[in-house]
Amino acid sequence: MSQEDKIKQAAEIIKNSTYIVAFTGAGISVESGIPDFRSPGGLWEKYNPNEYATYSTFLTHPVKYWTMHMELREMVIDAQPNSAHNALASLEHKYGKLKSVITQNVDFLHSRAGNTKVLEIHGTTQTSRCLGCDKTFYFTEVEEMLDQGQLPPRCPRCRGLIKPNTILFGEQLPYDVLEQSREEIMAADLLIVIGSSLTVYPAAALPSIAVQIGSGLIIVNKEFTPMDTYANVAIQGMAGIIMPKILAVLDEIL
Ligand code: APR
């Protein structure tokens, strides 16, 4: 089947769906200037996740994590939602079909695009907390400490280590968010997966719930994923190009 036919098929499935949930990964933000993790040139090629992104190495070498954070923050701060994020916002507001976005991303771009129910299963960079007294810090507070040369940033109250509320390898995913994500997928008649290699568990297990309950499954990804064979339609391509094309066909057939 040609890509054009797949796009038409995806639009047809969306037209006939009433409760759509999106599941996204780093790939949806690549066209916003934020590299993904596992593509050639991705973040894990430059920063070995075993050294920079596990909970245990954060506790023993927090400077490594915060150094990576400072090198990446310009990219994230300047990033804008791209047309794939905006397409999901339209599916919620213009078409009234998208009910939630489950994202592995911590770049806040879905919220900035306008989606109102965003389930961040790998946490967020918007807040951090002190590992000593659990005090919460906002993004700007921590960035100020870093700009003043505090590396690693420490709690002014108890001098404990400050850690972003992103989920590092070896950390539990937020149970409540994971449960809400499962409930959303159980309620959905269509799951649209965008920009994820679907290789990191337990997040990657979520799309299989849609398959198990017989919901529709659309996958938009630059490369093949392990779930493609279970999808009603799997489209290989750039999300920022494919998603607007699907919505353009949807406009014609609605
Ligand atoms: N459009 C669509 N897909 C894209 C694009 C794009 N413009 N650019 C890259 N991709 C695809 C890649 O081909 C890849 O399959 O997006 C996928 C991104 O996969 P990963 O880099 O593995 O990112 P992700 O699936 O989000 O990783 C899950 O792993 O390291 C942890 O916590 C991290 O949340 C992350 C989790």
Closest among 252, 209, 205, 204 to 37, alpha carbons compared: 204
Q: Is the pLDDT of residue 76 over 90?
A: no
Closest among 164, 166, 158 to 133, alpha carbons compared: 158
219-233 pLDDT, tens digit each: 999 999 999 999 999
Q: Is the pLDDT of residue 74 over 90?
A: no
Q: Distance (Å, rounded) from C-alpha 247 to C-alpha 253?
A: 10
State the pLDDT confidence band at 17, using cuts at 50, 70 and 90: very high
**CB 123 less than 6 A from any atom of ligand 1:** no
In this prediction, residue 77 carries a pLDDT of 86
Parallel, antiparallel, or unpaired: how do β-strands 98-103 and 20-24 relate?
A: parallel
CA-to-CA dists, residue 125 to 16, 19, 92, 172, 229, angstroms: 36, 29, 24, 16, 34
Cα–ligand 1 centroid distance for 25 (angstroms): 5
- Map out the domains of the chain with their CATH numbers: 1-34+81-122+172-254 (3.40.50.1220), 36-78+123-166 (3.30.1600.10)
In this prediction, residue 209 carries a pLDDT of 97
Ligand 1 atom with the smallest distance to the CA of 238 is 1
Cα–ligand 1 centroid distance for 184 (angstroms): 22
Q: Distance (Å, rounded) from C-alpha 208 to C-alpha 230?
A: 8
Secondary structure (3-state) at 108 = coil
Report CA torsion sign: 110, 21, 251, 195. positive
- The backbone torsions φ and ψ at residue 193, rounded to the nearest 5 degrees and listed phi first, read -100, 125
State the pLDDT confidence band at 86, using cuts at 50, 70 and 90: very high
Q: Distance (Å, rounded) from C-alpha 104 to C-alpha 196?
A: 9
CA-to-CA dists, residue 100 to 73, 94, 182, 221, 248, angstroms: 26, 14, 11, 19, 21
- The backbone torsions φ and ψ at residue 207, rounded to the nearest 5 degrees and listed phi first, read -60, -25
Catalytic residues: 122
Q: Specify burial of residue 250 (Cβ count, 10 A radius: 0-12, 13-18, 19+).
A: buried
Segment 3-27 shows an average pLDDT of 98
Ligand 1 atom with the smallest distance to the CA of 167 is 32
Say which DSSP state 161 is in. Answer: B
In this prediction, residue 73 carries a pLDDT of 87
Give percent of the chain above pLDDT 70: 100
Which of 39, 85, 108, 172 to mutate to test ligand 1, by most ligand atoms within 8 A of the CB atom?
39
